[in-house]
C-alpha cells in the first residue's frame, strides 16, 4: 500500500511499514513541513493513505471537505508500537482504506468512518 506518514509518526513505524512491503513517504524527511492541508493534498494526489496521530486531518477531511485517499489515525500507541498497529489495520481494513475511509485506531478499539 502507498502511505504518507505525518511528521508525528515515529521513525520506527516508517521502518516497520517499509519492511512489511509498503511504499512509504515520511514527512519528517522533507526539508520543511508544508502544513496539514498540503500534506493531505499530496497524499490524495499520489493516492497514499495518510497515517497520523493528529485529529486535525479528520477535521480537514470531514468538516472542510478536503479530498483524501484514506486516513489512519493512531491514538494511544507508544512510538515502538505504531508500525505494527498500522500493519494490522492495513491487513484488516485495506478495502475500506482503499475506498477512502478514515480509520481511527486505539489499542482496544477501531472506528471506521466511510467516505460520504
Residues spanned by the domain of 72? 2-113
Handedness of CA 36, 55, 83, 110 (dihedral sign): negative
Q: Taking a C-beta distance cutoff of 8 angstroms, is the pair 42, 4 a contact?
A: yes
Q: How many CB atoms lie within 10 A of CB 53?
A: 18
Count structural domains, the chain: 1
Asked whether residue 25 carries a pLDDT value surpassing 90, the answer given is yes
Give 36-95 pLDDT, tens digit per residue. 999 999 999 999 999 999 999 988 998 898 899 999 999 999 999 999 999 999 999 999
Rounded to two decimals, the pTM is: 0.94
Per the structure block, which three cell numbers stand in for 49?
493513505
Cα-trace Rg, the chain: 13
Asked whether residue 31 carries a pLDDT value surpassing 90, the answer given is no
Phi and psi for 53 in degrees, rounded to 5?
-110, -5
Amino acid at each position: 500500500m502507498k502511505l504518507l506518514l505525518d511528521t508525528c509518526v515515529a521513525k520506527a513505524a516508517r521502518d516497520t511499514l517499509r519492511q512489511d512491503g509498503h511504499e512509504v513517504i515520511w514527512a519528517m524527511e522533507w526539508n520543511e513541513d508544508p502544513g496539514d492541508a498540503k500534506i493531505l493534498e499530496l497524499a490524495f494526489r499520489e493516492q497514499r493513505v495518510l497515517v497520523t496521530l493528529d485529529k486535525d486531518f479528520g477535521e480537514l477531511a470531514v468538516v472542510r471537505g478536503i479530498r483524501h485517499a484514506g486516513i489512519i489515525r493512531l491514538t494511544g500507541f507508544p512510538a515502538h508500537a505504531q508500525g505494527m498497529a498500522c500493519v494490522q489495520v492495513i491487513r484488516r481494513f485495506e478495502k475500506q482504506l482503499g475506498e477512502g475511509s478514515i480509520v481511527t485506531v486505539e489499542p482496544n478499539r477501531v472506528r471506521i468512518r466511510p467516505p460520504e
